[in-house]
Amino acid sequence: MVEDTEDEKQFRGMYADELRKKKHSGKDSDLDNERSEVKQQGMKTPGRRGEQIKNEEIDKEIVRRYTSRLEKKKADDNATKT
């Protein structure tokens, strides 16, 4: 994996914050829409580092939301058992 430059790190952080603010729903449709916009932009201008970073951050946000749902479900299940 290539080490990010300072500008890329800053961009990655701002974009990750922007993704966290997007609406949370069962299907993460906001993230799906964001991913399709990023893919379309990537087809127009292939090889841009920004689109690579955006795709990586969307993947991380999907995983974060999925694991937080699992943890919440696990906590709810434990609460009903006691």
pLDDT in tens, 30-49: 888 899 999 999 899 888 88
Question: Is 37 inside any structural domain?
Answer: yes
How far is residue 74 from each of residues 16, 41, 43, 54, measured CA to CA in Å?
A: 26, 38, 40, 30
Token couple for 21: 């603010």
Could you please report the per-residue DSSP string of 1-58? -PPPPHHHHHHHHHHHHHHHHSPP-TT-HHHHHHHHHHHHHHHHSTT-HHHHHHHHHH
pLDDT value for 28: 60
pLDDT value for 80: 84
How far is residue 47 from each of residues 10, 19, 30, 34, 54, measured CA to CA in Å?
A: 20, 22, 24, 18, 13
What average pLDDT is seen over the chain? 87
Domain with 51 in it: 7-15+23-81
Q: What percent of the chain has pLDDT over 90?
A: 48
Question: Is 1 inside any structural domain?
Answer: no
Question: Is 2 inside any structural domain?
Answer: no
Enter the pTM of the model.
0.78
Contact partners, residue 2, CB within 8 Å, separation at least 6: none
pLDDT value for 40: 92
